[in-house]
Amino acid sequence: MEHVTRRAALSAMGAGLLTASTVGAAEADLNAGSCANGRYTLPPLPYAYNALEPHLDEQTMRLHHDKHHQSYVDGANKALDKLQTARAEGKLDEVKALSRDLAFNGSGHSLHTIFWSNLRPAAGNSGPSGALAEALTRDFGSVDAFKAHFGAAARQVEGGGWAILGYEPLAAALRVVQAEKHQDLSFQGITPLLVLDVWEHAYYLKYQNNRGAYVDAWWNVVNWENVQARLRAAAG
């Protein structure tokens, strides 16, 4: 009963927060441009490369989006092609290695697609509100407590990886999890709502080895409306 009640509450809060026109704009396709005709594709940035200055610099954004993300798109498509060939040629002993490649590159593509849409220019930006703020307060104690937890998760990822705020449908609740690389330490069933890339390629040109300064700066450019739209879509 609690599961149904929590899910219904999230849905009702989201419906009250978003008008029909807002829903149409925000939820029509939250991951637009990430796949076409069965092939993964690089989605365009929804803002200029320098739009997130001074918090995220233009040079990093260009390299991160055009080079690093593109490599995950290419890697995922290549893994799928090789799996198709392995099936056709009966080389099923290759499935383990190719599945690992698909998990790494496909997860990298999915998380980066969310990452870009989770960001917006800092001007006029505000914190979470409405249904999202209520859900964060319910599941973490307060918005500030959530931010402290999420920031700690981001800082403490070993090596390259991600901090992720996700919606977990069994408990109809929000969870903060880490991902090492892109796919390790996963919590199956969680839908990512807000993700922070803490691979060094995401921040090293500007922040060098000071990951904490990067995490602190990133909060200034979070697109909370996008996170809210993803929560509404996930909670149903």
Say how many C-beta atoms besides its own lie within 10 A of residue 232's C-beta.
25
pLDDT of 29 higher than 90: no
Give the span between the Cα atoms of 15 and 118, in whole angstroms: 20
Give the span between the Cα atoms of 142 and 169, in whole angstroms: 21
In a domain, residue 145? The reply is yes
In a domain, residue 33? The reply is no
Lowest mean pLDDT among 4-8, 58-62, 181-185: 4-8
- Secondary structure of the chain as H, E, C letters: CHHHHHHHHHHHHHHHHCCHHHHHHHHCCCCCCCEECCEECCCCCCCCCCCCCCCCCHHHHHHHHHHHHHHHHHHHHHHHHHHHHHHHHCCHHHHHHHHHHHHHHHHHHHHHHHHHHCECCCCCCCCCCHHHHHHHHHHHCCHHHHHHHHHHHHHCCCCCEEEEEEEECCCCEEEEEEEECCCECCCCCCEEEEEEECCHHHCHHHHCCCHHHHHHHHHHHECHHHHHHHHHHHHC
pLDDT recorded at residue 109: 98
Give the span between the Cα atoms of 235 and 131, in whole angstroms: 11
In a domain, residue 41? The reply is no
The range of the structural domain enclosing residue 183 comes to 55-236
How many structural domains does the chain have?
1
In a domain, residue 185? The reply is yes
In a domain, residue 181? The reply is yes
| CATH code, 231 | 3.55.40.20
pLDDT recorded at residue 3: 44
Model confidence, pTM: 0.88
Average pLDDT, the chain: 90
Which tens digits make up the pLDDT trace of 211-227? 999 999 999 999 999 99
CB 165 within 8 A of CB 140: no
Which tens digits make up the pLDDT trace of 33-42? 999 999 999 9
pLDDT of 9 higher than 60: no
